[in-house]
Chains A and B, each alone.
Chain A
Protein backbone atom coordinates (compact mmCIF):
# COMPACT_ATOMS: atom_id res chain seq x y z
CA UNK A 1 0.00 0.00 0.00
CA UNK A 2 2.98 2.31 -0.34
CA UNK A 3 1.47 3.88 -3.43
CA UNK A 4 -1.46 4.94 -1.33
CA UNK A 5 0.55 7.06 1.10
CA UNK A 6 2.20 10.30 0.21
CA UNK A 7 5.70 9.75 -1.14
CA UNK A 8 7.06 12.66 0.85
CA UNK A 9 8.12 12.02 4.40
CA UNK A 10 7.56 15.62 5.36
CA UNK A 11 4.43 16.52 7.29
CA UNK A 12 1.59 17.77 5.16
CA UNK A 13 1.72 21.34 6.39
CA UNK A 14 5.41 21.55 5.55
CA UNK A 15 4.72 20.14 2.12
CA UNK A 16 1.90 22.54 1.43
CA UNK A 17 3.53 25.63 2.89
CA UNK A 18 7.10 25.13 1.83
CA UNK A 19 9.76 27.54 2.99
CA UNK A 20 11.19 27.55 -0.50
CA UNK A 21 9.40 29.62 -3.08
CA UNK A 22 10.43 27.12 -5.75
CA UNK A 23 8.30 24.44 -4.05
CA UNK A 24 5.30 26.66 -3.49
CA UNK A 25 2.04 25.61 -4.98
CA UNK A 26 0.09 28.75 -4.32
CA UNK A 27 -2.21 30.21 -6.89
CA UNK A 28 -1.04 33.76 -7.26
CA UNK A 29 -3.42 36.66 -7.68
CA UNK A 30 -2.26 37.02 -11.25
CA UNK A 31 -2.90 33.34 -11.98
CA UNK A 32 -6.38 33.57 -10.51
CA UNK A 33 -7.13 36.70 -12.53
CA UNK A 34 -5.85 35.02 -15.65
CA UNK A 35 -7.96 31.96 -14.93
CA UNK A 36 -11.10 34.03 -14.33
CA UNK A 37 -10.53 36.12 -17.44
CA UNK A 38 -9.88 33.18 -19.71
CA UNK A 39 -12.74 31.17 -18.26
CA UNK A 40 -15.27 33.96 -18.63
CA UNK A 41 -13.96 34.66 -22.12
CA UNK A 42 -14.41 31.04 -23.13
CA UNK A 43 -17.88 31.05 -21.57
CA UNK A 44 -18.67 34.11 -23.66
CA UNK A 45 -17.37 32.45 -26.81
CA UNK A 46 -19.35 29.30 -26.02
CA UNK A 47 -22.54 31.26 -25.50
CA UNK A 48 -21.95 33.24 -28.67
CA UNK A 49 -21.48 29.99 -30.54
CA UNK A 50 -24.74 28.59 -29.18
CA UNK A 51 -26.55 31.80 -30.08
CA UNK A 52 -25.04 31.82 -33.56
CA UNK A 53 -26.01 28.23 -34.10
CA UNK A 54 -29.55 28.95 -33.02
CA UNK A 55 -29.76 31.84 -35.46
CA UNK A 56 -28.35 29.86 -38.35
CA UNK A 57 -30.29 26.74 -37.53
CA UNK A 58 -32.39 25.39 -40.37
CA UNK A 59 -35.25 23.04 -39.68
CA UNK A 60 -34.40 19.63 -41.15
CA UNK A 61 -36.29 18.47 -44.19
CA UNK A 62 -38.19 15.23 -44.04
CA UNK A 63 -39.18 12.91 -46.82
CA UNK A 64 -42.60 11.35 -46.70
CA UNK A 65 -42.42 7.62 -46.21
CA UNK A 66 -45.10 4.93 -45.91
CA UNK A 67 -45.02 3.32 -42.52
CA UNK A 68 -47.81 0.79 -42.66
CA UNK A 69 -51.29 -0.15 -43.74
CA UNK A 70 -54.25 1.71 -42.31
CA UNK A 71 -56.12 -1.35 -41.06
CA UNK A 72 -53.03 -3.22 -39.97
CA UNK A 73 -53.61 -2.34 -36.35
CA UNK A 74 -56.81 -2.47 -34.38
CA UNK A 75 -58.37 0.57 -32.79
CA UNK A 76 -56.80 1.16 -29.39
CA UNK A 77 -53.59 -0.68 -30.15
CA UNK A 78 -50.14 0.39 -31.23
CA UNK A 79 -47.26 -0.61 -33.42
CA UNK A 80 -43.77 0.68 -33.96
CA UNK A 81 -41.93 1.95 -36.98
CA UNK A 82 -38.74 3.82 -37.78
CA UNK A 83 -38.87 7.40 -38.96
CA UNK A 84 -37.10 9.44 -40.31
CA UNK A 85 -34.17 7.02 -40.20
CA UNK A 86 -33.73 3.44 -39.14
CA UNK A 87 -32.25 4.61 -35.83
CA UNK A 88 -35.30 6.60 -34.78
CA UNK A 89 -37.95 4.30 -33.33
CA UNK A 90 -41.49 5.69 -33.32
CA UNK A 91 -44.75 4.43 -31.97
CA UNK A 92 -48.03 4.60 -33.87
CA UNK A 93 -51.32 4.45 -31.99
CA UNK A 94 -54.67 4.01 -33.66
CA UNK A 95 -56.83 6.14 -31.44
CA UNK A 96 -60.06 5.81 -33.43
CA UNK A 97 -61.46 4.26 -36.56
CA UNK A 98 -59.87 6.97 -38.64
CA UNK A 99 -57.50 8.73 -36.30
CA UNK A 100 -53.87 7.91 -35.77
CA UNK A 101 -51.23 9.40 -33.49
CA UNK A 102 -47.53 8.82 -33.83
CA UNK A 103 -44.66 9.92 -31.60
CA UNK A 104 -41.01 9.28 -31.19
CA UNK A 105 -40.60 6.28 -28.97
CA UNK A 106 -37.60 7.80 -27.23
CA UNK A 107 -38.53 9.16 -23.83
CA UNK A 108 -37.43 12.76 -23.45
CA UNK A 109 -36.11 12.02 -19.98
CA UNK A 110 -33.43 9.36 -20.40
CA UNK A 111 -34.24 7.84 -23.79
CA UNK A 112 -36.02 4.70 -22.66
CA UNK A 113 -38.59 3.32 -25.10
CA UNK A 114 -42.12 4.41 -24.29
CA UNK A 115 -45.03 2.03 -24.87
CA UNK A 116 -48.75 2.47 -25.27
CA UNK A 117 -50.93 1.66 -22.31
CA UNK A 118 -54.47 0.94 -23.58
CA UNK A 119 -55.90 0.82 -20.03
CA UNK A 120 -54.91 4.37 -19.25
CA UNK A 121 -54.80 5.52 -22.86
CA UNK A 122 -51.41 7.13 -22.60
CA UNK A 123 -47.80 6.56 -23.51
CA UNK A 124 -45.78 5.32 -20.58
CA UNK A 125 -42.11 5.05 -19.93
CA UNK A 126 -41.29 2.07 -17.67
CA UNK A 127 -37.93 3.39 -16.56
CA UNK A 128 -39.03 6.25 -14.32
CA UNK A 129 -42.77 6.20 -14.52
CA UNK A 130 -43.03 9.00 -17.03
CA UNK A 131 -46.25 9.32 -18.98
CA UNK A 132 -47.23 11.24 -22.09
CA UNK A 133 -50.58 12.15 -23.55
CA UNK A 134 -51.63 10.26 -26.67
CA UNK A 135 -53.52 13.32 -27.86
CA UNK A 136 -50.53 15.68 -28.17
CA UNK A 137 -47.50 14.00 -26.61
CA UNK A 138 -47.38 16.36 -23.64
CA UNK A 139 -46.00 15.21 -20.29
CA UNK A 140 -48.65 13.88 -17.90
CA UNK A 141 -46.43 12.73 -15.07
CA UNK A 142 -42.94 11.77 -14.10
CA UNK A 143 -39.51 13.22 -14.65
CA UNK A 144 -39.62 14.10 -18.38
CA UNK A 145 -39.55 17.84 -18.97
CA UNK A 146 -40.34 17.99 -22.67
CA UNK A 147 -43.16 16.43 -24.68
CA UNK A 148 -42.50 13.65 -27.13
CA UNK A 149 -41.70 14.73 -30.70
CA UNK A 150 -44.73 14.12 -32.83
CA UNK A 151 -44.69 12.35 -36.20
CA UNK A 152 -47.28 13.75 -38.56
CA UNK A 153 -49.19 10.88 -40.13
CA UNK A 154 -51.42 11.14 -43.18
CA UNK A 155 -53.65 8.47 -44.53
CA UNK A 156 -53.33 8.08 -48.27
CA UNK A 157 -55.80 5.46 -49.33
CA UNK A 158 -54.88 2.36 -47.41
CA UNK A 159 -51.39 3.50 -46.63
CA UNK A 160 -50.25 5.52 -43.66
CA UNK A 161 -47.54 7.96 -44.62
CA UNK A 162 -45.22 9.75 -42.19
CA UNK A 163 -44.72 13.29 -43.44
CA UNK A 164 -42.41 14.96 -40.90
CA UNK A 165 -41.42 15.14 -37.27
CA UNK A 166 -42.64 18.10 -35.27
CA UNK A 167 -40.58 18.95 -32.22
CA UNK A 168 -42.32 18.56 -28.94
CA UNK A 169 -42.39 22.29 -28.45
CA UNK A 170 -41.66 24.07 -25.25
CA UNK A 171 -41.98 22.79 -21.74
Chain B
Protein backbone atom coordinates (compact mmCIF):
# COMPACT_ATOMS: atom_id res chain seq x y z
CA UNK B 1 0.00 0.00 0.00
CA UNK B 2 1.39 3.35 -1.07
CA UNK B 3 4.62 1.56 -1.96
CA UNK B 4 5.34 0.59 1.66
CA UNK B 5 5.91 -2.90 3.01
CA UNK B 6 6.15 -4.31 6.50
CA UNK B 7 9.47 -5.84 7.60
CA UNK B 8 9.97 -7.81 10.81
CA UNK B 9 13.47 -8.34 12.13
CA UNK B 10 13.41 -10.16 15.51
CA UNK B 11 17.18 -9.78 15.80
CA UNK B 12 16.70 -6.03 16.23
CA UNK B 13 14.07 -6.37 18.94
CA UNK B 14 15.26 -4.89 22.23
CA UNK B 15 12.24 -5.93 24.27
CA UNK B 16 11.05 -2.42 25.08
CA UNK B 17 7.44 -3.40 24.37
CA UNK B 18 6.68 0.00 22.89
CA UNK B 19 4.83 -1.77 20.08
CA UNK B 20 2.47 -3.37 22.57
CA UNK B 21 1.68 -0.04 24.16
CA UNK B 22 1.24 1.65 20.81
CA UNK B 23 -1.01 -1.12 19.57
CA UNK B 24 -3.20 -0.79 22.65
CA UNK B 25 -3.67 2.89 21.88
CA UNK B 26 -5.55 2.09 18.72
CA UNK B 27 -9.13 3.30 18.70
CA UNK B 28 -10.51 0.12 17.21
CA UNK B 29 -9.24 -2.18 19.99
CA UNK B 30 -8.21 0.12 22.81
CA UNK B 31 -6.63 -1.73 25.71
CA UNK B 32 -5.85 -4.86 23.78
CA UNK B 33 -2.57 -5.38 21.99
CA UNK B 34 -2.52 -7.36 18.78
CA UNK B 35 1.27 -7.67 18.77
CA UNK B 36 2.78 -11.11 19.33
CA UNK B 37 5.58 -10.68 21.82
CA UNK B 38 7.79 -13.60 22.80
CA UNK B 39 10.78 -14.21 25.00
CA UNK B 40 12.67 -16.52 22.69
CA UNK B 41 14.42 -18.60 25.34
CA UNK B 42 13.81 -16.98 28.65
CA UNK B 43 16.05 -19.23 30.72
CA UNK B 44 19.07 -18.77 28.52
CA UNK B 45 18.72 -15.29 27.08
CA UNK B 46 17.04 -11.94 27.26
CA UNK B 47 16.26 -12.03 23.55
CA UNK B 48 12.76 -11.05 22.61
CA UNK B 49 10.80 -11.08 19.41
CA UNK B 50 7.85 -8.92 18.47
CA UNK B 51 5.92 -9.55 15.35
CA UNK B 52 2.63 -8.84 13.71
CA UNK B 53 0.28 -10.83 11.55
CA UNK B 54 2.04 -11.99 8.41
CA UNK B 55 -0.99 -11.45 6.17
CA UNK B 56 -0.67 -14.65 4.17
CA UNK B 57 -1.44 -14.57 0.47
CA UNK B 58 -3.80 -17.50 1.02
CA UNK B 59 -4.76 -17.02 4.67
CA UNK B 60 -5.36 -20.29 6.49
CA UNK B 61 -7.31 -18.54 9.23
CA UNK B 62 -9.83 -17.24 6.71
CA UNK B 63 -9.99 -20.56 4.88
CA UNK B 64 -11.04 -22.38 8.02
CA UNK B 65 -13.48 -19.74 9.23
CA UNK B 66 -16.97 -21.26 9.15
CA UNK B 67 -18.63 -17.86 9.48
CA UNK B 68 -16.79 -16.04 6.69
CA UNK B 69 -15.67 -13.53 9.30
CA UNK B 70 -12.06 -13.11 8.17
CA UNK B 71 -11.53 -11.46 4.82
CA UNK B 72 -8.50 -10.63 2.75
CA UNK B 73 -8.85 -7.17 1.30
CA UNK B 74 -7.83 -6.07 -2.15
CA UNK B 75 -4.57 -4.55 -0.94
CA UNK B 76 -3.41 -7.78 0.68
CA UNK B 77 -4.39 -7.12 4.28
CA UNK B 78 -6.10 -9.94 6.14
CA UNK B 79 -8.55 -8.18 8.39
CA UNK B 80 -9.43 -8.95 11.94
CA UNK B 81 -12.64 -10.88 12.38
CA UNK B 82 -15.83 -9.06 11.55
CA UNK B 83 -17.71 -8.59 14.77
CA UNK B 84 -21.20 -9.38 13.44
CA UNK B 85 -19.99 -12.65 11.97
CA UNK B 86 -17.37 -14.06 14.33
CA UNK B 87 -18.74 -16.89 16.42
CA UNK B 88 -15.60 -17.28 18.55
CA UNK B 89 -15.11 -20.88 17.51
CA UNK B 90 -11.29 -20.50 17.52
CA UNK B 91 -10.85 -22.47 14.32
CA UNK B 92 -8.51 -19.73 13.14
CA UNK B 93 -6.59 -19.75 16.40
CA UNK B 94 -5.84 -23.43 15.93
CA UNK B 95 -5.25 -23.28 12.19
CA UNK B 96 -2.89 -20.32 11.85
CA UNK B 97 0.64 -21.73 11.49
CA UNK B 98 2.07 -18.55 13.00
CA UNK B 99 -0.25 -18.55 16.00
CA UNK B 100 -1.46 -15.04 15.31
CA UNK B 101 -5.23 -14.96 15.98
CA UNK B 102 -6.24 -14.44 19.58
CA UNK B 103 -9.60 -15.38 20.96
CA UNK B 104 -10.79 -12.55 23.15
CA UNK B 105 -13.08 -14.25 25.63
CA UNK B 106 -14.75 -11.08 27.00
CA UNK B 107 -15.73 -9.96 23.53
CA UNK B 108 -16.38 -13.50 22.34
CA UNK B 109 -14.51 -12.60 19.21
CA UNK B 110 -11.24 -13.38 17.55
CA UNK B 111 -9.01 -10.36 17.19
CA UNK B 112 -5.79 -10.09 15.32
CA UNK B 113 -3.46 -7.58 13.73
CA UNK B 114 -4.96 -5.93 10.69
CA UNK B 115 -1.84 -3.84 10.15
CA UNK B 116 -3.75 -0.81 11.45
CA UNK B 117 -5.95 -0.88 8.39
CA UNK B 118 -7.50 2.46 9.29
CA UNK B 119 -4.02 4.01 9.15
CA UNK B 120 -2.28 2.07 6.38
CA UNK B 121 -5.19 2.34 4.00
CA UNK B 122 -4.84 6.10 4.33
CA UNK B 123 -1.10 6.10 3.73
CA UNK B 124 0.00 6.23 7.37
CA UNK B 125 2.31 3.76 9.07
CA UNK B 126 1.00 1.19 11.56
CA UNK B 127 1.20 2.20 15.21
CA UNK B 128 3.86 -0.37 16.12
CA UNK B 129 6.16 0.60 13.28
CA UNK B 130 5.93 4.28 14.18
CA UNK B 131 7.16 3.68 17.74
CA UNK B 132 9.66 0.84 17.33
CA UNK B 133 12.99 2.46 18.34
CA UNK B 134 15.15 -0.22 16.72
CA UNK B 135 12.90 -0.66 13.71
CA UNK B 136 12.53 -4.37 14.37
CA UNK B 137 9.05 -3.62 13.11
CA UNK B 138 9.55 -1.41 10.08
CA UNK B 139 7.05 -0.11 7.58
CA UNK B 140 9.12 1.41 4.83
CA UNK B 141 9.73 1.29 1.12
CA UNK B 142 11.56 -1.78 -0.27
CA UNK B 143 14.32 0.47 -1.62
CA UNK B 144 15.01 1.76 1.84
CA UNK B 145 15.25 -1.74 3.33
CA UNK B 146 17.59 -2.84 0.55
CA UNK B 147 19.74 0.19 1.22
CA UNK B 148 19.82 0.11 5.02
CA UNK B 149 19.87 -3.56 5.99
CA UNK B 150 22.26 -6.43 5.47
CA UNK B 151 19.54 -9.02 5.94
CA UNK B 152 17.35 -10.24 3.16
CA UNK B 153 13.59 -9.80 3.27
CA UNK B 154 11.90 -13.14 2.83
CA UNK B 155 8.20 -13.86 2.65
CA UNK B 156 8.18 -17.60 2.00
CA UNK B 157 7.70 -19.93 4.92
CA UNK B 158 7.64 -23.70 5.11
CA UNK B 159 5.77 -25.43 7.89
CA UNK B 160 6.52 -29.03 7.06
CA UNK B 161 4.89 -29.47 3.67
CA UNK B 162 2.79 -26.33 3.89
CA UNK B 163 4.28 -23.49 1.90
CA UNK B 164 3.08 -20.06 2.86
CA UNK B 165 3.79 -16.79 1.16
CA UNK B 166 3.00 -13.64 3.03
CA UNK B 167 2.64 -9.93 2.61
CA UNK B 168 4.86 -9.14 5.58
CA UNK B 169 8.57 -9.81 5.19
CA UNK B 170 10.89 -11.51 7.65
CA UNK B 171 14.48 -10.28 7.66
CA UNK B 172 16.72 -13.34 7.33
CA UNK B 173 20.42 -13.98 6.70
CA UNK B 174 21.32 -12.97 3.18
CA UNK B 175 21.73 -16.52 1.89
CA UNK B 176 18.27 -17.66 2.94
CA UNK B 177 15.41 -17.76 0.46
CA UNK B 178 12.76 -19.01 2.82
CA UNK B 179 12.09 -19.68 6.47
CA UNK B 180 11.52 -23.30 7.30
CA UNK B 181 10.01 -24.27 10.63
CA UNK B 182 9.36 -27.81 11.73
CA UNK B 183 6.81 -27.52 14.46
CA UNK B 184 7.76 -30.97 15.74
CA UNK B 185 11.04 -29.50 16.98
CA UNK B 186 9.12 -27.45 19.50
CA UNK B 187 6.74 -30.03 20.85
CA UNK B 188 6.77 -31.18 24.45
CA UNK B 189 7.37 -34.78 23.46
CA UNK B 190 10.84 -33.96 22.22
CA UNK B 191 11.57 -31.94 25.32
CA UNK B 192 10.62 -34.89 27.46
CA UNK B 193 12.86 -37.14 25.42
CA UNK B 194 15.79 -34.78 26.00
CA UNK B 195 15.06 -34.69 29.70
CA UNK B 196 14.93 -38.47 29.84
CA UNK B 197 18.21 -38.71 27.99
CA UNK B 198 19.98 -36.50 30.47
CA UNK B 199 18.68 -38.37 33.47
Residues of A with Cβ closer than 8 Å to B?
A: 17, 19-22, 24
Taking CB atoms and an 8 Å cut-off, the chain B residues in 8-23 that contact chain A are none
Size of interface on B: residues with Cβ below 8 Å to A: 10
Cβ–Cβ < 8 Å partners of A24 in chain B? 71
- Cβ distance A162 to chain B, nearest Cβ, rounded Å: 70
CB distance from B187 to the nearest CB of A (A): 29
A20 to B74, CA, bound (A): 7
CB-defined A-B contacts under 8 Å, sample of 11? A17-B68, A19-B58, A19-B59, A19-B63, A19-B70, A19-B72, A20-B71, A21-B71, A21-B72, A21-B74, A24-B71
Q: Would B72 and A20 count as touching, CB distance under 8 A?
A: yes
Which B residues lie at the A interface, using CB under 8 A?
Answer: 58-59, 62-63, 68, 70-74
- How far, in Å, is A32 (CB) from chain B's closest CB? 16
Of chain B, the residue at the smallest CB distance from A14 is: B63
Task: Chain A residues near B71: list those with CB within 8 A.
Answer: 19-21, 24
Given A19-B58, A19-B71, A20-B74, 11 further pairs, Cβ under 8 A: A19-B59, A19-B63, A19-B70, A20-B71, A20-B72, A21-B71, A21-B72, A21-B73, A21-B74, A22-B74, A24-B71
**Residues of B with C-beta under 8 A to A17:** 68
When the two chains form their complex, are residues A19 and B62 in contact, meaning their CB atoms are under 8 A apart? yes
Which among A17, A20, A21, A24 has the highest number of chain B CB atoms within 10 Å? A20
Q: Whole-angstrom distance between the alpha carbons of A9 and B23 in the complex?
A: 40
Complex CA gap A17/B66 in Å reads 10
Task: Report the minimal beta-carbon distance from B17 to chain A, rounded to whole angstroms.
Answer: 32
Q: Looking across the interface, which residue of chain A has its beta carbon closest to that of B60?
A: A19
Closest A residue to B71 by beta carbon equals: A21
Q: For residue A22, which residue of chain B has the nearest CB? A: B74
* A51 → chain B closest CB, angstroms: 43
The chain A residue with its CB closest to the CB of B65 is A19
Residues of B within 8 A of A22 (CB): 74
B68 / chain A contacts, CB cutoff of 8 Å: 17
Min CB distance A73 to B, Å, is 77
